[in-house]
Structure 1
Amino acid sequence: MKEKKSKSINSLRYIHMLDRLIFPLIIVKSIVQVASNLAIVLVSTNLINQMENNVEKATILKVAMLGVLIIFALKVLGSFTNKYLVIRKNACDRNYNFKVGDKALEVDFPQLENRKVDELKQHIREDNNWGAGILSIYQAFESLVQNVVTVIGNLVVVLPFFLNKGIYKSSYLYLLVILFVVITVISVFINSKYLKTYVYKVMDQMSHNVKLFFFFLFDGAFDYKSGKDVRIYQAQSLIDSHVGKGELGYLKKQYSKLALASGIGSAVEGIGAALLTGGTYLTIALLASANSVIKIGSVIRYASCLSTLVKSLNKLTEDITSISKSLERQGSRMQFFDIEEVLEKGNETLELKADEEFAIEFKDVSFRYDPTQEYVLNHISVKIKKGDCTAIVGLNGSGKTTFIKLLCRLYDPTEGEILLNGVNIKKYRYEDYMKILSVVFQDFQLFSFGLGENIAGSQLFDEDRVKSCIQEAGLEERYSKMSKGMNTSLYRNLDEEGVEVSGGEAQKIAIARALYKQASLMILDEPTAALDPVAEYDIYTRLNEITKGRTTIFISHRLYSCKFCERIIVFQDGKIVEEGVHKELLERKGLYQDMWNTQVQYYMDAVMV
């Protein structure tokens, strides 16, 4: 309980820090709105009393005009405050969501692949399904403050009436007031305390048991990329067997519970409201009849204010439960913001000039993704110098991609160290180290932005440089068919006029992006995996020309790329088992030769081996 309370307070404090004016504005708005409502009641009932007392018409007119001016001023102030508040709340909501996105972009890569972080992302999604956004907190807080101010304001109006001992001329009037209070308390407790708590409990149970349903609904059914496979393999029945019978059946049962609880709550609230409204006017009428001094306008005033007071008390407990639950649901986002860095990041400046010599060395490096798992890399020692064109080859699962992840500082070695010019790469500023790398990953990602933006990685780019990279990557034929040129959007996620590119075309775009960066070290992880042998031969011929003089690392289990490389390193089971040039490795008759002999037939039609 203390932990939940602490998390809720932290959430509220963080949200307040986003915009320190919003909560004060909510309080001002609530005060103005309640004052406006009370002014209408007080002015109108006062006019009724004056007419009952036969006050001069001129005086009544003056009071009416003054009252209208006050009400008008309060309404104008309330409207202005509300409009201004809505603008700030929406801006703050966008800012809050941007912060979540920024945090996701800044989280260290190992955390993105961490199972607990993945569960946390799912938890955030589930909380959002129940309206856990920042606007829900503002809404709950606004309702809470307004009802608190309403209770206080109306209590100030009606309290003098009930404190007047002169109206209690009979003991049954005391009993009537007590009965009125008891009915109010019971109604508030049943509807707000019990039923609302039960509803939230059912919602929480649903949140953690319908992951498959929401995955299907949002990630599967509307994904046009998976839609092809669903239709070709008629997988609708397979999906229905997992989602329909189990999850939908569970959802139906839980929603029935919600409907029943909400229905009972509405019924209790309706009965309570009817009893309280009737009881309010009856109580005031009986008390007024016991004191003939009370005027008709006063009776209406006290009855109206008392009825409003009781309704606000009823809503007040609901608001407390709502804001508590909303803040609790923000806990998942607060946890996300608190994700710690796991990569060691130094502060040494790193600047490599184009003509500057450098060397990268893996010094007895071992790595495993989890302390409970086996090592993926075992005691790797290798040195790569400026200008080297190196191929890293091996069967699937041999550790090639993990080797690159360590080189790119996506992970830190479990044992050993990686040196750049004799300095552990952990000691350099992370941003500086990233600048020397240009990488085409095996599972690279293109964005649903313009072609030029994708290649440059920025909204601002050098068009001539982009065109040069397009040509070098062998994309000029596809580019010539793009009606908007560099402004052509890739895919249709954000632009209905966007173009779909094939796997091979996407890889060429990724290669063009790597070329555009002009980094000191270029890494190509399976750069031609989506290409046929003829296209692969063409792209490697281009890359051979492009990478001359550049420090380049190719990672591949398709060996034709190795013919262009000055050095080949062969991985097997996380270890380096062979090293040399193409001809030497063929003569050794080891793993490399076996892999080559298996693949060489696929290249016979493309080039004479």
Structure 2
Amino acid sequence: THHQFGDIMPLLALYAFAGYRLMPGLQAIFGAITSIKVHKGALNILYQDLTKPIESTYAANTQHSKLPFKEKLTLQNIKFVYPQSIQMILNQLNLEIQAGESIGIVGETGAGKTTIVDIILGLLTPSDGKLFIDSTVITQENMQQWQENLGYVPQYIYLSDDTIIQNIAFGVEKNKINREQVERAAKMAAIHKFILNDLPYGYETQVGERGIRLSGGQRQRLGIARALYRDPQLLVLDEATSALDSVTEENIMQAIYDLSRRKTVIIIAHRLSTLISCDKIFVLEKGAVQDCGSYQELIARNQNFQRLAKITK
């Protein structure tokens, strides 16, 4: 028996060593599967768009009317938990945004800020609860109509190696670009004068690979103009100015607040000082709304908000 055990030991050691070497690969595979499950909603949207014939995609875009947003956006009893997880990211969250308001959403990392935005954008489906636009519940059937009314500005703006006009009307065929809409969007993003006066060929100026010929502030303004090209009623900015210096950020935020007179604006900001002019700020904690008020009201009464303001100075 001892002799047999001695013979097996090297084999067991070999299997143990092989398992140890395979562990990082298995962990990577498990992580990839989890990531796919988490981003399933966004992947489905991309797959549907990529598998449609180009002609029918453009026809569909012209046929889908925008879902009206005239009164308010309501998140009602929203719960969200990622697949294979027990941690509740959003837990019975309720909030209401009036049309025409400028809104800030703040909270610690993991509080649920980006998850709220992804649900509003239709990239994630809540585990429970409903999203209302006025009195209409958003479902898979009317989601595309709602998305036609959304503009989104991320932290990092992708610019293709193309002209300014084609970057603003991103995704639209060159012969279908509406020049008047492009210039209107650029004016609202406060970059029209720069394009006309400072660029050698105006709207036909080529930008380099990933926009390297433009400053960070100019890229962000182009990103805002792109989001406004289709004249959305709701504009969402997700950490859109966090990579900019304070002076550039202040100038861009002023352009955004000027927009809020005509659009509903939702802002997730790294520096809370950029939210001073918001009509209302929601403070999130553990996946729920902990408080809501103006910057001045919250800085006076809410310790969590005071702490976040100090951290992000």
TM-score normalised over the length of structure 1? 0.39
Q: Equivalents in 2 of 1:363, 1:448: separation in Å?
A: 42
1:110 corresponds to: 39
1:572 corresponds to: 285
SS in 1 for 2:131: strand
1:492 corresponds to: 209
SS in 2 for 1:544: helix
Unpaired runs of 5+ residues, structure 1, are 1-106, 118-335, 338-348, 601-609
1:552 counterpart = 2:268: no
What is the CA distance between 1:438 and its match in structure 2?
Answer: 1.0
1:488–1:499 contact (8 Å) kept in structure 2: no
Q: Measured at CA, do residues 456 and 108 of structure 1 come closer, stay the same or move farther in structure 2, by a change above 3 Å? A: farther
Q: Measured at CA, do residues 378 and 552 of structure 1 come closer, stay the same or move farther in structure 2, by a change above 3 Å? A: same
2:76 corresponds to: 363
Q: Deviations over 1:478-510 (max 9, x none)?
A: 6644333222333338xxxx8633433221211
SS in 2 for 1:378: strand
1:377 counterpart = 2:76: no
Q: Equivalents in 1 of 2:247, 2:311: separation in Å?
A: 17
What is the CA distance between 1:554 and its match in structure 2?
Answer: 1.0
1:366–1:379 contact (8 Å) kept in structure 2: yes
Q: Equivalents in 2 of 1:112, 1:413: separation in Å?
A: 11
Q: Quick one: which amino acid aligns to residue 245 of structure 2?
A: D
**Alignment equivalent of 2:119, drawn from 406, 409, 431:** 406
2:149 corresponds to: 436
Q: Quick one: which amino acid aligns to residue 521 of structure 1?
A: L
1:526–1:554 contact (8 Å) kept in structure 2: yes
What is the CA distance between 1:574 and its match in structure 2?
Answer: 2.2
Q: Measured at CA, do residues 393 and 454 of structure 1 come closer, stay the same or move farther in structure 2, by a change above 3 Å? A: same
SS in 1 for 2:265: strand
Q: Quick one: which amino acid aligns to residue 164 of structure 2?
A: L
Q: Quick one: which amino acid aligns to residue 483 of structure 1?
A: P
Q: Quick one: which amino acid aligns to residue 366 of structure 1?
A: K
Q: Measured at CA, do residues 547 and 110 of structure 1 come closer, stay the same or move farther in structure 2, by a change above 3 Å? A: same
1:482 corresponds to: 199
Q: Measured at CA, do residues 372 and 557 of structure 1 come closer, stay the same or move farther in structure 2, by a change above 3 Å? A: same
2:7 corresponds to: none
Q: Measured at CA, do residues 350 and 413 of structure 1 come closer, stay the same or move farther in structure 2, by a change above 3 Å? A: farther
Q: Equivalents in 1 of 2:195, 2:160: separation in Å?
A: 18
2:67–2:145 contact (8 Å) kept in structure 1: no
2:217–2:252 contact (8 Å) kept in structure 1: no
Q: Equivalents in 2 of 1:518, 1:406: separation in Å?
A: 21
The number of equivalent residue pairs is 257
1:594 counterpart = 2:307: yes
Q: Equivalents in 2 of 1:503, 1:541: separation in Å?
A: 16
The correspondence of residues 95-494 of structure 1 with structure 2, limited to 5 A, is 110-111=39-40, 351-352=66-67, 357-426=70-139, 428-457=141-170, 458=172, 459=174, 460-475=176-191, 476-477=193-194, 480-492=197-209
Q: Quick one: which amino acid aligns to residue 372 of structure 1?
A: S
Q: Equivalents in 2 of 1:113, 1:351: separation in Å?
A: 20
Q: Quick one: which amino acid aligns to residue 235 of structure 2?
A: M
Q: Equivalents in 2 of 1:514, 1:550: separation in Å?
A: 12
Unpaired runs of 5+ residues, structure 2, are 1-35, 45-49, 52-63
Q: Equivalents in 2 of 1:454, 1:531: separation in Å?
A: 20
Indicate the structure whose relative CO is greater, using CA pairs within 8 Å and at least 6 residues apart: 2
Identical residues among aligned pairs (%): 26
1:394–1:557 contact (8 Å) kept in structure 2: no
Please identify which structure carries the higher helix content. 1
Q: Deviations over 1:175-224 (max 9, x none)?
A: xxxxxxxxxxxxxxxxxxxxxxxxxxxxxxxxxxxxxxxxxxxxxxxxxx
Larger radius of gyration between Structure 1 and Structure 2: 1
1:394–1:556 contact (8 Å) kept in structure 2: no
Q: Quick one: which amino acid aligns to residue 110 of structure 1?
A: H
Q: Measured at CA, do residues 109 and 465 of structure 1 come closer, stay the same or move farther in structure 2, by a change above 3 Å? A: farther
1:389–1:553 contact (8 Å) kept in structure 2: yes
Q: Equivalents in 2 of 1:108, 1:488: separation in Å?
A: 41
1:538 counterpart = 2:251: yes
1:584 corresponds to: 297
1:507–1:530 contact (8 Å) kept in structure 2: no
Following superposition, which runs of at least 4 residues in structure 1 exceed 6 angstroms of deviation?
A: none
1:360–1:418 contact (8 Å) kept in structure 2: yes
Q: Measured at CA, do residues 447 and 111 of structure 1 come closer, stay the same or move farther in structure 2, by a change above 3 Å? A: farther
2:58 corresponds to: none
